[in-house]
């Protein structure tokens, strides 16, 4: 192991090593706080001056509910362990710099690495010789070689940069706990760099740390999320087939899963969140050669089409109630992308609204976790012709259908998440559609 690299494990264990964290968002901020809470001096850099101003006074800019993060931030700011700044030159003293900036996909589902390039170019200009630069953002295969290293070296300095790619497995609502308890791939340019990063991450991660090459790390993270998206798409396609032939996907998936090695996931009104809609496209940024149709791309398109399927069920239901879309009031239950979450990124409900509003439907939205929509569910349902359950929030499972029926103008309901029992819907006098259940189905 060369010079500075050989000394790093010792400097990490003695807390002499200085850490830099570039990008203080959903991923970077908990990472910075966690390392600082373990005694490291952490320089947190973000280009957003407002965000830095909040952090400097110990206020957490992440508004969704993240247990423990606000308290940890206050602590590491008050002790001076973490220093937020917009000035990247403060990274000059850092021994290891992690980068957690956005890696979105844009038109044509192509990755947009402008933020990543800018961060790496800046680091290349200011970082000292022998610095270890770790990309924690999710990136497509080949990005470390084709984007990161050239950007780091775009300003010839003669100073050595060692590369790592340690993608995060965080989930909104569990940022801190996931960071500490989920296994991680430690991608590194060499086994020596890998063993240094293993020492570093073992300070905050109490789970497997699997050292691998950079490309493997790129493929694992994008692959694991593409895998989930494809599996959700299978459940959704099975639902559409059941609708077509008069089956009940909720019964079918339950019985399939009794077969060893099967695990059909849950159909639903769409796939939202920050990771799953994006990461499959990052994996596909290096598509296999030849004409093979992409399962991953087809799954993305199918999942993106689910809000429109729910809109069709809604129009069917309104039709049975003889309510024209232009005269209809539709109450959507659920705006968050996930049950019992307040995170609304890439909400499938947005897709539903985009389908129904142009037809003249008056759309109302309720969500107990989203401030903007946190009204009383019955109030939202009052005068509505059709309710649409888009998110399986626990609160909805307790909804009194009789009361809902009384306040609604028509007793229409579309259930995209199998929240309600069909027998109870019948008893309460509802005309309803269930995603994945044939309209003509006559249950035993």
Binding to ligand SAJ (CB under 6 A): which residues in 331-390?
A: 337-338
Residue 91 is a binding residue for ligand SAJ (CB under 6 A):
no
d(CA 59, CA 56): 7
Segment near ligand SAJ (CB under 6 A); pick from 39-47, 151-159, 170-178, 369-377:
170-178
In angstroms, the Cα distances linking 51 to 29, 69, 308, 315 are 11, 15, 37, 44
Residue 276 is a binding residue for ligand SAJ (CB under 6 A):
yes
CB of 32 to ligand SAJ, least distance (A): 18
Note if 221 is an active site residue.
yes
The DSSP-derived string for 284-330 is TTSPPSSSPPPHHHHHHHHHHTHHHHHHHHHHHHHHHTT--GGG-EE
CB of 305 to ligand SAJ, least distance (A): 13
Read off the DSSP letter of residue 395: H
Burial 99-133 (b: 16+ CB within 10 A, else e): bbbbbebeeeeebebebbbebbebbbebbbebbbb
Query: Rounded to the nearest 10 degrees, how much is the dihedral formed by the CA atoms of 371, 377, 379, 383?
Result: 120
Name which of 189 and 342 has its Cβ closer to ligand SAJ.
Answer: 342
Given 221, 278, 380, 386, the catalytic residue: 221
- 82 beta partners: 42
Length of the chain: 444
Segment near ligand SAJ (CB under 6 A); pick from 42-50, 89-97, 164-172, 294-302:
164-172
CB of 314 to ligand SAJ, least distance (A): 18
Segment near ligand SAJ (CB under 6 A); pick from 92-100, 270-278, 396-404, 430-438:
270-278
CB of 5 to ligand SAJ, least distance (A): 29
Segment near ligand SAJ (CB under 6 A); pick from 46-54, 154-162, 163-171, 326-334:
163-171
Residue 135 is a binding residue for ligand SAJ (CB under 6 A):
no
Given 120, 275, 361, 380, the catalytic residue: 275
Residue from 271, 333, 356, 365 in contact with ligand SAJ (CB under 6 A):
271
Residue 265 is a binding residue for ligand SAJ (CB under 6 A):
yes
- CB-CB neighbours of 240 under 10 Å: 17
Binding to ligand SAJ (CB under 6 A): which residues in 198-227?
A: 224-225
d(CA 214, CA 390): 39
**Max Cα–Cα distance, the chain, nearest Å:** 78
Note if 174 is an active site residue.
no
161-165 and 184-188 strand pairing: antiparallel
User: Residue numbers of the site for ligand SAJ (CB under 6 A)?
Assistant: 169-172, 224-225, 228, 232, 235, 265-266, 268, 271-273, 275-276, 337-338
The residues annotated as belonging to the active site are 221, 275
């Amino acid at each position: 192991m060369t010079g500075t690299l050989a000394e790093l494990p010792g400097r990490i264990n003695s807390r002499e090593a200085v850490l830099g964290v570039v990008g203080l968002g959903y991923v970077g901020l908990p990472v910075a706080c966690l390392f600082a809470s373990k005694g490291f001096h952490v320089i947190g850099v973000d280009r957003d001056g407002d965000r830095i101003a909040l952090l400097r006074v110990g206020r957490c800019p992440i508004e969704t509910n993240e247990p423990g993060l606000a308290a940890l931030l206050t602590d590491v700011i008050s002790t001076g362990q973490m220093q937020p700044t917009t000035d990247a030159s403060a990274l000059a003293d850092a021994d290891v710099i992690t980068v957690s900036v956005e890696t979105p996909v844009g038109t044509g589902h192509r990755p947009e690495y402008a933020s990543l390039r800018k961060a790496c170019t800046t680091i290349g200009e200011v970082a000292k010789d022998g610095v270890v630069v770790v990309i924690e953002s999710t990136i497509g295969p080949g990005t470390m070689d084709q984007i990161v290293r050239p950007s780091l070296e775009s300003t010839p300095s003669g100073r050595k940069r060692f590369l790592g790619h340690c993608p995060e497995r965080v989930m909104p609502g569990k940022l801190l706990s996931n960071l500490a308890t989920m296994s991680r791939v430690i991608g590194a340019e060499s086994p020596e760099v890998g063993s240094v990063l293993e020492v570093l991450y073992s300070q905050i991660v109490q789970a497997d740390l699997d050292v691998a090459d950079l490309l493997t790390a790129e493929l694992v993270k994008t692959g694991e999320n593409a895998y989930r998206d494809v599996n959700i798409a299978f459940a959704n396609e099975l639902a559409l087939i059941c609708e077509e032939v008069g089956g009940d996907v909720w019964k079918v998936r339950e019985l399939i899963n009794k077969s060893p090695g099967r695990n059909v996931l849950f159909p639903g009104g769409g796939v939202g969140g920050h990771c799953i809609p994006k990461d499959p496209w990052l994996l596909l940024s290096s598509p296999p050669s030849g004409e093979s149709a992409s399962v991953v791309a087809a799954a993305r398109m199918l999942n993106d089409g689910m809000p429109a399927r729910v809109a069709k069920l809604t129009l069917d239901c309104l039709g049975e109630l003889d309510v024209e879309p232009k005269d209809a009031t539709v109450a959507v239950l659920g705006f968050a992308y996930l049950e019992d979450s307040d995170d609304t990124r890439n909400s499938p409900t947005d897709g539903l609204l985009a389908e129904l509003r142009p037809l003249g439907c008056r759309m109302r939205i309720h969500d107990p976790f989203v401030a903007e929509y946190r009204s009383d569910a019955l109030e939202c349902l009052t005068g509505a012709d059709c309710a649409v359950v888009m998110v399986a929030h626990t609160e909805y499972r307790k909804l009194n259908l009789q009361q809902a029926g009384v306040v609604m103008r028509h007793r229409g309901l579309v259930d995209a998440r199998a929240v309600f029992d069909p027998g109870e819907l019948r008893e309460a006098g509802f005309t309803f559609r269930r995603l994945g259940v044939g309209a003509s189905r006559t249950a035993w």
